[in-house]
Amino acid sequence: MRYRSDRDSLGTVKIPADAYYGPFTGRAIKQYHVTGQNPHPYLIKSFVMIKRSAAIANMKAKTLDRKQGNAIVKACDKILAGKYQDQFVVDMINSGAGTAFNMNTNEVIANVALMILGKKLGQYNFLHPNDHVNMSQSSNDTYPTAMNMSILFALDMLLPIINKLIMSLTKKAKQFSKYKKIGRTHLMDALPVTLGSEFDAYVTSIAKSSHAIIHSKKQLEQIALGGTAVGTGANTPKVYRKIAIRELAKISKLGLVEQKNMQHSLQSKFAIANTSSTIRNLAVELGKISNDIRLMASGPVAGFGELEIPAVHAGSSIMPGKVNPSLAECMNMICFSIIGNDTTVAFAAQAGQFELNVMLPVMLKAVLDSTDMLTNFTPIFTANLIAGLSANKE
């Protein structure tokens, strides 16, 4: 493999000759062997949108040369169109406050911009990752902004999926409305209910969970961009913040607004912890529903046998014809993972010191892991389990 020599404040680093990342990233990938996961697509998208918006704001503030600024904007547009995704190589859990990923982004954009300007990779004297791409920014305000955006993008994908689950449960509640059964408390016989009323209660549980998630988005829409290192806006032109956030809201199509107290945005992760808790509460309800389905379908000869579940695959490697509640079990495992992820977020959110919480990457990974699991599996859970449930009339 051929290499080039890139230089930073610590000295010279050998970088693969055709790599669009630079010296900071070259050092970081040797240090952060953690999850083996590449940066989440929503994180890349959010960060590149931030850099694009910052370049426009800096040009309008007359602090960034137009030739350099326009090259940065064009570079960002290429990345947002799907190019250079393999150049974002820093592990999801990396340096405190996500500095390593911020610099990975700065370097990739700088090198793409250099090529647009007709220069060679690594010729940072013409356009620099820190001085130009990162102008008027810090990892301390860009990463929190990108966190909020990434989670908002994830929720915009998840919420319609949850709504389809609510619709499916509502359909089952109506379908099962005439089937009387014994209600149970303490797992013992209690008073009569209908199978439909049980499912109607599930509808209420998931609808309340969804509403709480929607409500939490308002906090996430208040962003830290412009706060720079400690939330005071140091090293930013007066007009920068308003323009940058306006541009960011425009390109992202998210309802982003200024967080009035920028120091709060850097110190506190209230908005992230709040949203994580609403996702956890959804998981708690989904887990309870999955447990009920497993119990009502148990047997069917020697169990409750009230529900018949669709056979999605053979339930056993040794007992032919056995049908297991495998999708409900999978949902249970997802819910356990989400509850654990929320605990990670809670510990990380309280672990900040003074003007900055530095535990940002692990928080973001935890929340996006939770939303990804629900987004990926809930449509299968809805279509292949809930929609296929039938009542055992006998």
Give catalytic residues, as residue numbers: 316
Closest C-alpha among 176, 199, 169, 166 to residue 390: 176
Which residue shows structure tokens 């830290």?
224
Closest C-alpha among 267, 155, 137 to residue 209: 155
Is the Cβ–Cβ distance between 33 and 41 less than 8 Å?
no
Token pair of 212, please?
């709480």
Q: What are phi and psi of 134, to 5 degrees?
A: -95, 10
DSSP symbol at 37: P
How do beta strands 180-185 and 188-194 pair?
A: antiparallel
Look at residue 76 and give its three-state secondary structure: helix
By 3-state DSSP, what share of the chain in percent is helix, strand and coil, each rounded to 5?
A: 60, 10, 30
Q: What's the CA gap between 155 and 262, in Å, rounded?
A: 24
Q: What's the CA gap between 201 and 215, in Å, rounded?
A: 21
How do beta strands 222-223 and 257-258 pair?
A: parallel
Q: What's the CA gap between 288 and 285, in Å, rounded?
A: 5
